[in-house]
Amino acid sequence: MLAVISAWMRRGSSRAARWWVRRVPLDEATDYANAEAIALAFTPMIAQTLIVAGLCMPVASFAVGGSGLGSTVLGAVLVVEILLWIVILLAAVYRWILPLWLYPSGLREVRRDERDRLRAAKEHRR
C-alpha cells in the first residue's frame, strides 16, 4: 500500500497527489524541502524496506535452521538496504532543493532553474 501511495505522489497530477510540492518561490521559502523529501525519498524507501523485509522472511526461516546460504543472503540484503538508506539520507537531509534525479520530470526543470539561481547567488557573494 505504501508503494502505491509513493507512486501516486510521484506520478499523480491532482492537487491531492502533489501536496508535497513547494508552491512559493525559493526566495520566500522559510524551511528546507521537508515535504518533498518525505514524498520523494523517505516514503518510497520505507516501502522498499518493508517489501524487502517481507521477501526475506522465507529466507530467514532457512537461516534459523543453520543454512549458511540463508544467512549470507540476509546479510547481503541488509548491507544493501543500509547503503541505500545512507545514500537517500545524504541526498535528502537539510537541502533546499533535492537532487534532480529524485524529482518527477515535470518538476525537474523548475528545480534546475532554482538550483542554478542558488549557485549564481553563492558565486556572487564570494
User: Could you list the pLDDT tens digit for every one of the 126 residues in the chain?
Assistant: 899 999 999 888 898 999 998 888 777 777 777 889 999 999 999 999 999 989 888 877 766 666 677 778 888 899 999 999 999 999 888 888 889 999 998 899 999 998 898 888 888 877
Q: How far is CA 34 from the centre of its chain?
A: 11
Distance CA 45, CA 52 (A): 10
Are the beta carbons of 88 and 45 closer than 8 angstroms?
Answer: yes
Position 12: which residue type? G
pTM of the model: 0.79
Helix%, strand%, coil% for the chain, nearest 5: 75, 0, 25
Contacts within 8 Å (CB) and 24+ apart, 19-28 = 21/107, 26/96, 26/97, 26/114, 26/117, 26/118
Measured between alpha carbons, how far is 55 from 81 in angstroms, rounded to an integer?
A: 13
